[in-house]
Structures are given as C-alpha cells and as structure tokens.
A and B are shown apart, each in its own frame.
Chain A
Amino acid sequence: MASLETEVLVIGGGSTGAGVVRDAAMRGFKAVLVERRDLADGTTGRYHGLLHSGGRYAVKDPLAAEECVAENAILRRIAADCIEDTGGLFVSTPWDDPAFGDTFLEGCRATGVPVEEIPVAEALRREPRLHRGISRAFAVPDAAMDPWKLVWGCARSAQEHGAEIRLYHRVVALERDGQRVTGAVLRNELTGKEVRIHAQVVVNAAGAWAGQIAELAGGRVNVLPGKGIMIAMNHRLVNTVVNRCKPPADGDIIVPIRTVSVIGTTDSKVADPDDLEVTQSEIDEMLDEGDRLVPGFREARALRVWAGARPLFSADEVADTREVSRSHALIDHRERDGVEGLVTITGGKASTFRLMAEVAVDAACAQLGVDRPCQTHVEPLPDSEDGRFYTLGARLRAHEPRPKPDELICECELITRERLEHAMERRRTANLDDIRRTLRLGMGPCQGGFCIFRATGILHAVQRLDSREANESLLAFLQERWKGVHPVLYGDQVRQARLDDWIFQGLLGVQHLST
C-alpha cells in the first residue's frame, strides 16, 4: 500500500473541510483533504444557497445569529465572487402574525443583525411577484452564495498554499497507535487502490457523516442528520432572498441563485444521511408554501427536487431537530474520549463554515502545541480579489463581446465549448456530474436535454475516452438527472422531460448503446 506523510489530514470535502484545509495550509501546515466523492457533493452542494444575515436565527438561536452576522461581513470581503448581493426580505404574509415582526426586530437588534422595516409598497416594488396581502416587510443583508464556487475557491486557495486535495478517496479505517490517531487508510473509489496517510492530527469535517468517521477511531459524535428538501424553480421568481417573518418552519425561504430560485426547506430527523427520500407530501407542502409567498408558484416550472442532510449536533437525544442549535460543535476527542490526534468539527451551516474551520484548526494547533494565527478572514479567495460581487449577468457579459452562438454548448447556463473543454482538462474526470458541479452544466430548464449529448461528444475527444466509457458517462448523467427531476414532474416541465425523452431515447437511441 502506498503511503504518505502529512501534518493535518482533513476528512470531508464540503464547505467545512475545504475551509479547514485552506486554513491549515495558510497557517503553514502540510495538509491533505480527502473526500469520498466530489467536492461539495454532500450537504454543501445540496443547500439552498443562502448566505444568512442572521435574521433567520435572531429570535430562536441568538448565538447562531451572532455568528452569521460576523461571518456574513467577512465572506462579503473574502468570497465576493461566490456571492450575489441580492439582499433579503422578511415579510409577514396573511398567514403570519404581524406582531411577530416586533419580536423579530427585537431579536435582530439584540444579536446585531442589520435590519430595517420598510414600507410594504417598497417591498412590492422590489419584488412585484410577492403576495399583495403582506402586512410588514423587513430588509436584511441576506445574499445568495454559490456553494460549488465557494468550496472550489477554498480548495484552490489551499492548493496554492501547498495543500493536496484527494477526491473520490473514502476513509476505510482510522489508524491508532494506543490512544492516538495516527492517520487513515483511504480507498480510491475510481481505481480501488488503497493508500495510507500518516498525520499528526486528523480533522473530522465529515458533517452529517462525522459520527460514522469518529466511530472508526472509537470516538463518539452525536450527529443527527436533519433532512431538508429543496425545489429549484426555473425562473428567478424573486430577485431578493425572501423569508416568511415567523418562527422558522417548512418552506419559508425562497433564494434566487444563479439562473433559478430555490424554495426550502424541511427539517426532519433521519437515520442515514445517505438515504434521503423525498415524499410527495413534502413536495406539496413546499409548493403550497411557495404559493403563499409568490401566488402562482404552483404554475411555475419546477426543475428538480433534492434533499440535503444537515449535521445537527446534540449532546442529548432530541425529538425535533429544529430545536437543536444551528451553531457549530467542536469536539476535541482528547477530552471527550481520551483519543489524541483527532478533532471533530460539525453542526453549523455553510454561512459559518469559515469560523468553523478556524476553531477546528485552532484545536489542531493546540493538539500540536503550536500557536499560529488564523488568516482566512483576511485573504480573499481566488477570483474574489477585486471584491466585486457576482452578478446574474456575469456569464452573458463575458460572452457578449465575441458572441458565437454555435460555440454555446449549454444554452441554459451559457457555457461555451472553450470553457467546457478547459474544465474537462482541469478536472481530468470522465464523470459529467463532476463537470455539472463545476460549471452548472445541464442545470437549467432543459436539464441537460441538449448539452449532455454535446458534452459527451466533447468528453470523448478531450479525455480520449473510448466510446463505451463515454456511453457510460452519458447514461450515468441521465440517471442522476432523472433522480431529481421525476418527483416534481408536472406542468410545462413534463413537456420538457418528454422532449428530452424523444431526444435521448427516440432520436439518439441511447438505450441501445453498449457500455
């Protein structure tokens, strides 16, 4: 078995793990991140894309709210290219008690969330699709944050500081020498080969899977995976993050992100973060709640539905996962389990990933007996150096000076052939789903109906695949896409899906290809 040495081994390629490996590398540690699948393939890539102002937690979870306030300001500085500065609204619909607005204002003021009550007419001017019967509206600095850009930005920054990122590497064992964790054995999920990584300290940033990782070392982490479903609608039904002004419940947030808007979410306790079934009643609840914020929501096209597993940490058993604090949990297993060399960071949320990384690396420093200050709140991520926020028109603006429509491979997301080829070369992957996460390939209204055939032809050429491998990539993508599409298939999206069926099964006959 091949083996290598590092100082800090980070397990988990979500926002937390990517933040940890960046933080560790910036503090001068030799660091390696391992992830069982692709970056942001777990909870981070399955969240609604909201950069919290803190308003959401201002009443119920003041600690989480305060963390959001601070991190929101920091991320706007260091991750501008990942953020669209949409602003946020909390609105009282006819189904919400207007008096809760006062409680909300009070909570915001106590936790430092910048908030301003604005006239209803002003809110409706900003967001004309909102329910005309709203009675109060509050503006907060919510924003939309692209999870893939964020995680890749951290990973690239970490690499620039000397870290190594190993994707599709699953932890099969944590190695111990007495009471000390000394590293891990990883299996490369693509080749099947195993590799041993010796580390002075292991940071378990596996989120909802953190309990499974800790168990490998005889540690215990009580993570309750909380399932949240989200539905992407094919339009920006709103251009501002819109929240219901009421105690947090299901389906009370719509986030405009990139070309879509995402409604979320639910919160229910599940046993296994890898088994997240979406039920019809959950979908109907989302659509009905969406209709209360934006009348006509049910008639709009739903593109896909998915579920993510929040890592909710609790020292005790809790019946309702919404009652668990959304602040993070740091576990130094020396104190907790008498196991040295292992730190677990879990709980929390994408908006506070940087803070979570900071406290985790602080704990790692303590275990290593060194004192090196965190720098992640100062240095911007790659592509965010100029401090300019992402805007919806960015891709169009880049494309417009020399428009070549025949070179647009994905018309929905404005991805050119050049950009696609570049991403394929950089990622060195035969998996079109990896490319999807990198570029948003096939994430628009046609859900890959047109671009996936093209991308397969290009992948075949760029990666020098044989045709069977290319066929496999194509079929795997179609299956993966269908998973999120079929539970919300109605209205005009049925027409789209049937056109896609005609293209893939009628015109191309992909079901007859050999793999």
Chain B
Amino acid sequence: MSHDTIVIGAGLAGLTAALRLADEGQRVLVVARGVGATHLAPPTIDVLGFADERVESPAEALSGFSAAHPGHPYGRLSPEVVSAGIEWFKARLPALGYQGGLEENLLLPTAVGAAKPSAVVPETMNGGDLRAGGRFVFVGLRLKDFYPAYLAENLTQSGQVEARAIDLDPPPADDGGTLGLARRFEQSSFRDWVARELSRRVGQNERVGFPAVLGRQSAGDVWRELESRLERPVFEVATLPPSVPGIRLFEAMASALRQAGGRLLIGQPVIGAEAGNSRVEGVIVQEAARPKTYRARSFVLASGGLAAGGIRVDSYGKVSEAVFDLPLAGLPEANGRPPFRPTYLDEQPLDRVGVAVDDALRPTDLEGAPRFENLHAAGAALAGAVPWREASGNGLSLATGYAAAGSILEAAR
C-alpha cells in the first residue's frame, strides 16, 4: 500500500498536518515511536504568551515578535496562516469546545498559581480566566499532583483575584491519580458526591477550579453537569503529567484522522530514511519483526525537539537530527558538550536548536536551500523558538503542522 504523505510523529504538529491532508483526500500514514507531548502538556493553544513582556494580544504582537527574533518559526508563517490554522482547529474538533482566538490572551492559573497567557483553550478551562477578577476557589481531591492551598495563596498574593482552597477527601479508590480520578468523574455517583460536598461549601460568586481530571471520554458533559449543579463557573487547572485534557485532545484528533481514512502506527520508531539527492523516497520503520520501508510522495518531520528525542545530543556533545541527519541551526559555537549556563532559569545554549526551514517549511541546508524538495518539518523540531518560556508551544505546533500540510497540498496541485 502506498501513501501520499507520511508524517513522522504523533504530537499536535504531526496530527494537525495528517488530519488536514486526510481531509483533503490524501492517503496519510502517521508513524511514531510513541504518543507525543499531548499526553504530558495541557491542550491549551498558547500562541504567544511572553515576548519581552506578557503578551495581551498575539494578533498584535506576532509581527513585531517575528521581526525581533530572526529565525523564529513564526517568521516563516503569515499571520493569516496562523489564524486560519486556529479557525480550522476549532471547527474541526467541535466536541472539545475550544474558545478564544488571536485577538486576546486569556490568563489561566497554573498549578502553582502563576498566570499563564493562552489564546485558545478548551471549554473546560475557559472559566479559569483570571482577567475576570473576583473570587476563586480551588478544590483539592487528595491528588498528589494538586496543592490548592499553595496555588490559591500565590494567586491571592499576586493581587489579581481572591482565591482560597477546599480540600475534599474522596472515598478511597485503587487509583487516586489523575487518570483514576478522571474515570471516577465519569460515574454519576462520584459527581453526586462532589456536587453535594461542594454545594455546602462554595460561596456566592466563586468560580470553582478543579485539577484537570473532569473525565476522559465525556469531559464536556461532566463539566456542564458540574456547572449547572454548582450554579457557578467551573474550570480545570492543568497539572503534572499525564495530562488528562491533553489525552482528550490526542484521542479526538486520532479518531478524526482514522475516520478521514488516515492510518496511525504508534510504537514503531522511524530509524532512518531512503533518500536520493533531492527527494526522500521512504522511511525505515522498526517494526516488531524487522525494519520495513514505507514510501510516499511527501513527508512531514514532526518528531519533536530535544524532549521528544527528534533531536539528540551524544556524550561527546554532538547534536543531530535523528531520522534524516538534517543540518541544524541554533547550535552553540563551542566544540564539545554544550556549555550550559550555571543559572537554571537563564536561556540555555541548546534552547533554540532545531532544523531551519524555508517558507514552505522545508528543512534547509546551511545556505538556505531546501535539503529535500518533498520533506517538510513542523512543531518542536524547528529551530529558533523557546516555546516553554514564550508560551508558544501548541500554537507553533498547530500553525506549522497546518502550514506544512498547506505546502504539500499546494505542491500536489
């Protein structure tokens, strides 16, 4: 069986590219070593949260930001593409009820009570927007990954809102972790218990924050039911991995992709490629029995950066891209292991390393020419961004995944 496009990597960037291509009738294969950052990170689409200062409107900030950071992936994208990607995403996954847009960032509380700007968020998180001001209450469920008193005190200290904590002590269960709690929230008896306990204890005009465990398959229904029973805004706060709302996003996208005729091979790493001088012919996948080559007309490299292993550093300090051994940009100049800076919160020498791309998001060589005419790259594999500090991770993945698919479609026409 042959494919039109093979996407390497099953994170948000890869799934976005794959889904858009499949929607356009392409035969798409996604092949990945494992699931991506969806299972680790919140599913908020953070487009740009921090430049020199906190960003209030990504739409207004993006062009200036790209100009100030040459080589940043946003510099390869027109504002229209970023915006079109977001609108496509919101319309394509209606069950997740994503809210917001590029015009203004929401401010969501993190699990330590810092404020994080986010452009587009699932409906279950929307109520946490701190810009609303007023009173917030955070509900602890004896979850080891959520400390509402600490969160609330930091929020109150910041002066933006008044926050407090309520600790509920749920009946014991085998799995009291995030996934276990998410399953329990899908049982009506557990929701009854939570609503009963809380209705006596929440005050007038309080917004009610839970750790992000309000169901896995039917989170929208769970959230709506809690809002209506508590008669106040209810919202989820993202906390440590695994990310239950991120898993919802993965499952929604994977399911949409399969319905559109796409195919997913997860758990089988791409270990190399077959390529000529100017075209990639196929990728070599480590299947259970033996390596197997999959061929296609186009390829999308969405295998992530250092965190995912798409880019590697060996013990001699050599940095390389794992599948195609592509040239890398953003490397520190010194030889040997990268001289990391001694202050943890400083920007680090490898932070911006990745593949450089042209306007069609094709990885380029050091002279700026595309390395292969049919290979595109998206997501954290791209050079130039520090997404965890910029609060730009999912925004970049979505926009570049969407744009890479656009380039492939254009080339096919």
* Cβ contacts under 8 Å, A475 to chain B: 345
Instruction: Judge whether A454 is part of the interface by a CB distance below 8 angstroms.
Output: yes
Evaluate contact between A506 and B391: CB separation under 8 angstroms: yes
Alpha-carbon distance between A287 and B341 when the two chains are bound, in angstroms: 21
Evaluate contact between B336 and A280: CB separation under 8 angstroms: yes
Check A406/B180 contact, CB under 8 A, given A489-B340, A498-B305, A498-B307: yes
Question: In angstroms, how far is the closest chain B Cβ from the Cβ of A428?
Answer: 19
Alpha-carbon distance between A462 and B93 when the two chains are bound, in angstroms: 43
Which among B4-12, B145-153, B280-288, B369-377 touches the partner chain?
Answer: B145-153
Which among A74-82, A182-190, A383-391, A466-474 touches the partner chain?
Answer: A466-474
* Cβ contacts under 8 Å, B175 to chain A: 405-406
Name B314's contact: one of A481, A482, A490 (CB within 8 Å).
A490
The A-contacting residues of B in range 193-245, CB under 8 angstroms, are 238-241
Evaluate contact between A491 and B315: CB separation under 8 angstroms: yes
Alpha-carbon distance between A494 and B176 when the two chains are bound, in angstroms: 30
Instruction: Judge whether B111 is part of the interface by a CB distance below 8 angstroms.
Output: yes
Evaluate contact between B144 and A454: CB separation under 8 angstroms: yes
Quick one: CB contact mask for B344-370 with A, threshold 8 Å, 1 for yes? 110010100000000000000000000
The B-contacting residues of A in range 479-511, CB under 8 angstroms, are 479, 481-483, 486-487, 489-492, 494-495, 498-499, 501-503, 505-511
Alpha-carbon distance between A499 and B350 when the two chains are bound, in angstroms: 14
Evaluate contact between A513 and B342: CB separation under 8 angstroms: no
- Between B158, B177, B239, B313, the greatest number of chain A beta carbons within 10 A of the residue's beta carbon is seen for B313
Instruction: Judge whether B41 is part of the interface by a CB distance below 8 angstroms.
Output: yes
Alpha-carbon distance between A492 and B239 when the two chains are bound, in angstroms: 24
* Cβ contacts under 8 Å, A471 to chain B: 112, 154
* Cβ contacts under 8 Å, A287 to chain B: 315
* Cβ contacts under 8 Å, A456 to chain B: 112, 147, 150
Check A461/B147 contact, CB under 8 A, given A489-B337, A503-B241: yes
Evaluate contact between A499 and B40: CB separation under 8 angstroms: yes
Instruction: Judge whether A460 is part of the interface by a CB distance below 8 angstroms.
Output: yes
Name B344's contact: one of A479, A499, A513 (CB within 8 Å).
A479
The majority secondary structure among interface residues of chain A is helix
* Cβ contacts under 8 Å, B115 to chain A: 509, 512
Which partner residue on chain B sits nearest A453 by CB separation? B240
Alpha-carbon distance between A244 and B196 when the two chains are bound, in angstroms: 67
Question: In angstroms, how far is the closest chain B Cβ from the Cβ of A33?
Answer: 32
Check A503/B240 contact, CB under 8 A, given A406-B176, A453-B111, A498-B307: yes
Instruction: Judge whether A275 is part of the interface by a CB distance below 8 angstroms.
Output: no
Instruction: Judge whether B157 is part of the interface by a CB distance below 8 angstroms.
Output: yes
Evaluate contact between A510 and B112: CB separation under 8 angstroms: yes
Evaluate contact between A502 and B313: CB separation under 8 angstroms: no
Instruction: Judge whether B387 is part of the interface by a CB distance below 8 angstroms.
Output: yes
Which partner residue on chain A sits nearest B317 by CB separation? A490
Which partner residue on chain A sits nearest B54 by CB separation? A512
Name B112's contact: one of A450, A486, A509 (CB within 8 Å).
A509
* Cβ contacts under 8 Å, B153 to chain A: 460, 466-467
* Cβ contacts under 8 Å, B258 to chain A: none
Instruction: Judge whether A407 is part of the interface by a CB distance below 8 angstroms.
Output: yes
Instruction: Judge whether B343 is part of the interface by a CB distance below 8 angstroms.
Output: yes
Check A501/B388 contact, CB under 8 A, given A468-B157, A470-B150: yes
Question: In angstroms, how far is the closest chain A Cβ from the Cβ of B64?
Answer: 22
Evaluate contact between B112 and A453: CB separation under 8 angstroms: yes
Evaluate contact between A499 and B150: CB separation under 8 angstroms: no
Quick one: CB contact mask for B150-181 with A, threshold 8 Å, 1 for yes? 10011001100000000000000001110010
Instruction: Judge whether B35 is part of the interface by a CB distance below 8 angstroms.
Output: no
Instruction: Judge whether A125 is part of the interface by a CB distance below 8 angstroms.
Output: no
- Between B113, B150, B314, the greatest number of chain A beta carbons within 10 A of the residue's beta carbon is seen for B150
Which partner residue on chain A sits nearest B350 by CB separation? A494
The A-contacting residues of B in range 278-333, CB under 8 angstroms, are 305-309, 312-317
Instruction: Judge whether B58 is part of the interface by a CB distance below 8 angstroms.
Output: no
* Cβ contacts under 8 Å, B2 to chain A: none
Check A495/B309 contact, CB under 8 A, given A409-B144, A460-B150: yes
Alpha-carbon distance between A287 and B145 when the two chains are bound, in angstroms: 36
- Between A405, A494, A503, the greatest number of chain B beta carbons within 10 A of the residue's beta carbon is seen for A494
Alpha-carbon distance between A498 and B312 when the two chains are bound, in angstroms: 12
Instruction: Judge whether B143 is part of the interface by a CB distance below 8 angstroms.
Output: yes
Alpha-carbon distance between A327 and B407 when the two chains are bound, in angstroms: 72
Which partner residue on chain A sits nearest B145 by CB separation? A454
Alpha-carbon distance between A283 and B308 when the two chains are bound, in angstroms: 26
Instruction: Judge whether A404 is part of the interface by a CB distance below 8 angstroms.
Output: yes
Evaluate contact between B315 and A506: CB separation under 8 angstroms: no
Which partner residue on chain A sits nearest B181 by CB separation? A406
* Cβ contacts under 8 Å, B42 to chain A: 507
Evaluate contact between B340 and A487: CB separation under 8 angstroms: yes
Check A502/B40 contact, CB under 8 A, given A406-B143, A409-B144, A489-B340: yes
Name A507's contact: one of B111, B150, B317 (CB within 8 Å).
B111
* Cβ contacts under 8 Å, A450 to chain B: 240-241
Instruction: Judge whether A247 is part of the interface by a CB distance below 8 angstroms.
Output: no
Question: In angstroms, how far is the closest chain B Cβ from the Cβ of A145?
Answer: 29
Evaluate contact between A513 and B112: CB separation under 8 angstroms: yes
Alpha-carbon distance between A460 and B143 when the two chains are bound, in angstroms: 15
* Cβ contacts under 8 Å, B393 to chain A: 506
* Cβ contacts under 8 Å, A453 to chain B: 111-112, 145, 240
* Cβ contacts under 8 Å, B81 to chain A: none
Name B343's contact: one of A458, A479, A502 (CB within 8 Å).
A479
Which partner residue on chain B sits nearest A301 by CB separation? B315
- Between B37, B306, B344, the greatest number of chain A beta carbons within 10 A of the residue's beta carbon is seen for B344
* Cβ contacts under 8 Å, B305 to chain A: 498
Name B158's contact: one of A405, A474, A514 (CB within 8 Å).
A514
- Between B143, B336, B337, the greatest number of chain A beta carbons within 10 A of the residue's beta carbon is seen for B337
Quick one: CB contact mask for B378-410 with A, threshold 8 Å, 1 for yes? 000000000111010100000000000000000
Name A467's contact: one of B142, B144, B157, B317 (CB within 8 Å).
B157
The A-contacting residues of B in range 57-113, CB under 8 angstroms, are 110-113
* Cβ contacts under 8 Å, A407 to chain B: 144, 176
Quick one: CB contact mask for A323-365 with B, threshold 8 Å, 1 for yes? 0000000000000000000000000000000000000000000
Instruction: Judge whether B116 is part of the interface by a CB distance below 8 angstroms.
Output: yes
Instruction: Judge whether B114 is part of the interface by a CB distance below 8 angstroms.
Output: yes
Check A298/B143 contact, CB under 8 A, given A280-B336, A498-B306: no
Check A507/B145 contact, CB under 8 A, given A467-B157, A486-B340: no
* Cβ contacts under 8 Å, B343 to chain A: 479, 482
Evaluate contact between A495 and B306: CB separation under 8 angstroms: yes
Quick one: CB contact mask for A273-313 with B, threshold 8 Å, 1 for yes? 00000001001000100000000001100100000000000
Which partner residue on chain A sits nearest B157 by CB separation? A467
Evaluate contact between B158 and A507: CB separation under 8 angstroms: no
* Cβ contacts under 8 Å, A508 to chain B: 110-112, 114
Name B345's contact: one of A280, A499, A503, A511 (CB within 8 Å).
A511
Evaluate contact between A514 and B308: CB separation under 8 angstroms: no
* Cβ contacts under 8 Å, B114 to chain A: 508-510, 512-513
Check A486/B342 contact, CB under 8 A, given A407-B144, A508-B111: yes
Instruction: Judge whether A37 is part of the interface by a CB distance below 8 angstroms.
Output: no
Evaluate contact between A499 and B158: CB separation under 8 angstroms: no
Check A494/B337 contact, CB under 8 A, given A466-B153, A467-B157, A506-B391: no
* Cβ contacts under 8 Å, B142 to chain A: 406
* Cβ contacts under 8 Å, B312 to chain A: 491, 494
Alpha-carbon distance between A477 and B307 when the two chains are bound, in angstroms: 22
Check A461/B344 contact, CB under 8 A, given A417-B144, A490-B337, A506-B41: no
- Between B153, B305, B309, the greatest number of chain A beta carbons within 10 A of the residue's beta carbon is seen for B153
**What would 7 A/B residue contacts be, using CB atoms closer than 8 Å?**
A298-B315, A405-B177, A450-B241, A490-B317, A492-B309, A506-B387, A510-B112
Known: A471-B112, A491-B315. 16 other contacts (CB 8 A): A406-B143, A453-B111, A460-B153, A467-B157, A471-B154, A478-B344, A479-B343, A487-B337, A489-B338, A490-B315, A490-B317, A495-B309, A498-B307, A499-B307, A508-B111, A508-B114
Q: Which 5 A-B pairs have the closest CB atoms?
A: A457-B147, A506-B388, A406-B176, A509-B114, A482-B344
